[in-house]
Chains A and B, each alone.
Chain A
Amino acid sequence: MVKLLRNGWQMLNRGRGGLWFALLFVFVSPAFSASFTASLDRNTIVLGEPVTLTLKFEDGQPQGPLSLPVDGLRITSSPEQSISSVFSAGKQTTVYSYAVSLEATRVGEFVIPPFNIKMNGQTFSSQPLKLKVVASDPSAPPAGNAEKMAFLWVELPKTNLYINEPVVVEFRIYLRSDVRRYGDLQFSPDGNGLTFSKIAQGQQYQRRVGNATFTVVPLSVAITPVKTGTVSLNPINGSILLNGRDPMDIAGFFGPPTRPQRAPLTAERMDLQVSPLPEEHVPAGFNGVVGSYTMTVTAGPTNVVAGDPITLHVQISGHGALDTLSLPEQTGWDNFKTYPPTSKINASDPLGIEGSKAFEEIVTPQNSDIKVLPPVTFSFFNPEQKQYRTLTQPALPLIVRAATPGAMPAIAATHAENPPPAADVISIKQHIGTVAQISAPLVEQPWFLALQGVPALALLSCVILRKRKESLENNPRLRRQRQVAQLVQEGLEQLRIQASENQSVEFFATLFRLLQEQLGERLDLPASAITEAVIDERLRPGGVSEETLTSLHELFQTCNLARYAPVESGEEMAQIIPKLEMALNELREWKR
């Protein structure tokens, strides 16, 4: 529910020569733990290149317009909004992102001041953002690479590091302008004595190398040395698949054919010198954090009864390995019962080395003599300044009242409703019980999985049965064919019995009926309409063999003759059966 005032900011931009954009929110979602970050996709650009500014709002939307005049920067695109939802640790977080493309009008170093926004009744500030605009790329690859369709160029900002100091390595994939598509990137940076973050792909941009124009696909990785001495980025032997043309591109379908080709992406080994942290002037409580940070501490409530919980919020913001950052053990908290802190990282870059980490710790004052919350200190080593820094939050005034007799502190009262905890473990078992192994779960047992196929097969059989039944119902000829086949089979059995029992009249009646049924089915006529005449009228023109026709004539005539001169001998009747069988078989094989 966002309405963008595009014309508004364009006009303001022209009028004041600065950077303005405004967002009007009709609906503000209710949220309880909102946060806000601003980031640029790159910190250094060449004059004329665009850079993307992204504002992210978690669990909330800003109220009112945002504006930021920056001389020398201008917006070149309208804001693009995206909304995403993340479900993590049982909590759903909605992230609203707004991205605008900026362009510099001159060379220099720009600082975009913090955005101050109001969200859900609270004021949030972002980090100031630095952008360096240079006239030409200081790390441009040699002009000789202009001949290549694609190549890899590694940008390592520094090679002398301190242990645990993160640095962002940019792997730039240069794709010449005649490359239309690329894919199947085979590339995995590795190293010795280094840990790697996940790979983040940045915004693509254009660069000139020699006389050719290339599209640069930047892939960034944060590396952190975990041992001193010489550590190295291993050589890279990757590749990328280049397609000259998109097969789905109809407009390009009639152009010259192109063939996919694989281009190598290689880089040589790079060594880094890693220094240990200085051993002099190490502050007390230093726990190995390297980077550049600021700290804010808040606590509440500050007017409590002894034993009541107080929530301490410590937010550490800046640049460094946020995932491994932890609060050092604090001193001076002897009169408080402390609980392990929970933490949440709010990174402003995809590599997780810029942003803030918020710690939340529950502390409970144990007596009413306490007047302050002790100072919170956090020490780190700043590799740029090459010295240790200690941030200290002064003691916060606190009012702690004595607990009145009979009144239980909040936590204790909650616990009192639960049954009293057990004093010890339940004693050992005296019988060994059933000796059994720990077996794999049912879902990993082949027999169990196979068993689930049984009802599926049964259902499949039912479906096939039903389909066959339906097919038979919709095909009367097939149905008659099957009925006649069944009738003939039973009739032949009956003939054999009648022959063996010398039942002449019944025998020839059955014989005649079988001939009628089979011929009727083949000629698609009622059985009662079949006489000897159909042999010459219908079967002979249909191409039935002369031998079969003769045989059928004989059988009909035998039936007719038997009416007047019954055959008495069972043997004679039995001799007719094979002849009938042969004639019926040949009729069945006859194709009309």
Chain B
Amino acid sequence: MNSVNLQMNRWKWRFSHHTFFATAFSVLYCSIVLLLTTISGFTADASAGFDAANGLYEQGKFAEAASAYQQMIQSGTVSAAIYFNLGNASFKSGQVGRAIAAYRNAEKITPRDADVRANLQFVRGKVQNPSFSPSLGQRWIAVLTINEWAGLAAAVLWIWLALMAAVQLRPALKESLRTLLWCSGFATVLLSGCVGAAWSGNSTRTAIVIVQDAATHNGPLDEAPIGATVHDGAELSVLDTKNDWLQVRVDGGRIGWLKRDQVALASGM
């Protein structure tokens, strides 16, 4: 009798154990399937929307295509390809400034994409001056992206600190590592400076003119006298803001105020 009871208990334990694991596995499986289904459904929807927008572009309906890409971005679907195609559609529909803004966004996601760079350079070539032209130093800093500068500086910093740690643990290495220590220390300081410069440039706000012609005013008022005229696609560094007005540097010596709705704002130079 005791033996039967024992076997029954063991069976019950096994049954309950199996049930628990089976239930947990089922829940996990269902969750994964649901997640994958959701993701694939989302991706499928995004791809369908992307293909539809591309279709409009291929039919020459550039303005409609630009709206479709814009809607995708507003709904939270963002990729370098969407921004790239939005740039193309905007450019083809005559909106040079919006094209530049889109290419700049694409460049932020894939900074080394040759197509993005080529199109951005091409469209910038169509912009009528005055527009921002970077200095020699700014051009040099722009050779690498801010993340590339940061990664490089971090790597050199780690090497420098590792060498210093090695010297602490084995003082006998100090003489043989002296040159390497100085070089890596100097490189760390130099690269940190580059990171700072890149970050400063990245923090600068740029106003991209998105209307055909925009007149700059001498003050942040409609009645203020008109100064220079800037054109669609001009990239101007923002100096100040007041209500719905932005103070911009037009070129080397000129500054003026532009209305907020005449420009698209972007970060970085």
Q: Which chain A residues have a beta carbon within 8 Å of chain B's beta carbons?
A: 89-90, 163-164, 193, 195, 224, 226-228, 287-288, 321-324, 326, 339-340, 342-345, 357, 421-422, 424-438, 441-443, 448, 451-452, 455-456, 458-459, 462-463, 465-466
CB–CB A429/B81 < 8 A: yes
Residues from chain A with a CB closer than 8 A to the CB of B129 are: 339-340
Identify 27 residue pairs between A and B in the complex whose beta-carbon atoms are under 8 Å apart, listed by A's number: A90-B137, A226-B223, A287-B227, A288-B225, A323-B253, A324-B227, A326-B254, A343-B251, A345-B253, A421-B122, A425-B119, A425-B123, A426-B88, A426-B115, A427-B88, A428-B85, A432-B47, A433-B80, A436-B78, A438-B109, A442-B147, A443-B146, A451-B154, A452-B157, A455-B165, A459-B165, A462-B169
Residue of B84, B125, B136, B220 with most chain A CB atoms under a 10 A cut-off: B84
CB–CB B252/A343 < 8 A: yes
Residues from chain B with a CB closer than 8 A to the CB of A224 are: 218-219
The answer for the CA separation of A90 and B134 in the assembled complex, in Å, is 10
Residues from chain A with a CB closer than 8 A to the CB of B171 are: 466
User: When A193-B221, A442-B146 are in contact, do A455 and B227 touch as well, CB less than 8 Å?
Assistant: no
User: When A90-B136, A195-B218, A442-B147 are in contact, do A436 and B255 touch as well, CB less than 8 Å?
Assistant: no
Q: Which chain B residues have a beta carbon within 8 Å of chain A's beta carbons?
A: 43, 46-47, 50, 54, 57, 77-82, 84-85, 87-89, 91-92, 105, 108-109, 115, 118-119, 122-123, 125, 129-130, 135-137, 146-147, 150-151, 154, 157-158, 161-162, 164-165, 168-169, 171, 195, 199, 202, 217-221, 223-228, 251-256
The answer for the CA separation of A353 and B225 in the assembled complex, in Å, is 17
The answer for the CA separation of A60 and B82 in the assembled complex, in Å, is 54
- Report the nearest A residue to B166, measured CB to CB: A462
CB–CB A227/B46 < 8 A: no
The answer for the CA separation of A438 and B147 in the assembled complex, in Å, is 13
Q: How far is the CB of B171 from the nearest CB of chain A, in Å?
A: 8
User: When A422-B118, A459-B168 are in contact, do A227 and B223 touch as well, CB less than 8 Å?
Assistant: yes
User: When A455-B158, A459-B161, A459-B164 are in contact, do A432 and B169 touch as well, CB less than 8 Å?
Assistant: no
Residues from chain A with a CB closer than 8 A to the CB of B105 are: 438
CB–CB A462/B218 < 8 A: no
Residues from chain A with a CB closer than 8 A to the CB of B227 are: 287-288, 324, 326
Residues from chain A with a CB closer than 8 A to the CB of B157 are: 452, 455
The answer for the CA separation of A458 and B160 in the assembled complex, in Å, is 12
Residues from chain A with a CB closer than 8 A to the CB of B136 are: 90
Residue of A342, A437, A441, A456 with most chain B CB atoms under a 10 A cut-off: A441
Residues from chain B with a CB closer than 8 A to the CB of A432 are: 46-47, 50, 77, 79, 81-82
CB–CB A326/B168 < 8 A: no
CB–CB A435/B256 < 8 A: no
The answer for the CA separation of A548 and B118 in the assembled complex, in Å, is 89
- Report the nearest A residue to B119, measured CB to CB: A425
CB–CB B91/A425 < 8 A: yes
- Report the nearest B residue to A456, measured CB to CB: B161
CB–CB B150/A438 < 8 A: no
- Report the nearest B residue to A193, measured CB to CB: B221
The answer for the CA separation of A340 and B234 in the assembled complex, in Å, is 13
